[in-house]
Amino acid sequence: MAVVSRDYRDVRARVYVNAPMDRVYKSWATVAGLERWLTARARMLSPEGRDLGREGPAEEGGRYSWTRADGTREDGTFVEVDNSMLLRFTFGKDVVVKVQLTLTSKGVLVDVHQHAQRSDAENLALALAHSSRWTFYLANLKSVLEGGADLRDARPDVEGLVNV
């Protein structure tokens, strides 16, 4: 379960994934990988605006667009990319998400840390919503990469589903 800080500026979720490090990294850093567990559709561009295609890894300074099955869209920028271990990207208004991958004896530790620049009522609602979403999506990443089912609902017909 994700943990939310007292001031609601930070959300942190972690999961061990029993899969090769490069496979876990590509699940975060490529369109093909993201569409397997996180987004219905994704697009990534280089810093120069070149489409990176389905397999091109994220580039520092590059942009992304992710759309979930319910039509919710997120656009942002990759602010830091350290091949195979770290991604940091903007996520909505005044929010940065850091994804750190660490190889351990239990598998790859996926550590997601979302940090907001402000602490206010709007951010409180966002932090609470994102904590449940990160919990779900990390469980889905684990399921997909360890040979299980994709737990998302591809045709949501009810508003507010967490598995979209």
**Residues 77-93: tens digit of each pLDDT:** 999 999 789 999 999 88
Tokens linked to 71:
């039509």
| 59 contacts: CB under 8 Å, gap ≥ 6 | 44, 46, 47, 52, 78, 81
Architecture of the domain spanning 3-145: 2-Layer Sandwich (3.30)
Q: Which residues contact 10 (CB under 8 A, 6 or more apart)?
A: 4, 113, 114, 115, 116, 127
Per domain, the residue ranges of the chain are 3-145
Q: 142-158: per-residue pLDDT in tens?
A: 999 999 899 988 777 77
Q: Which residue has the tokens 């490090």?
A: 21
Residue 119 has pLDDT above 90, yes or no: no
pLDDT for 163: 66
Average pLDDT over residues 118-147: 87
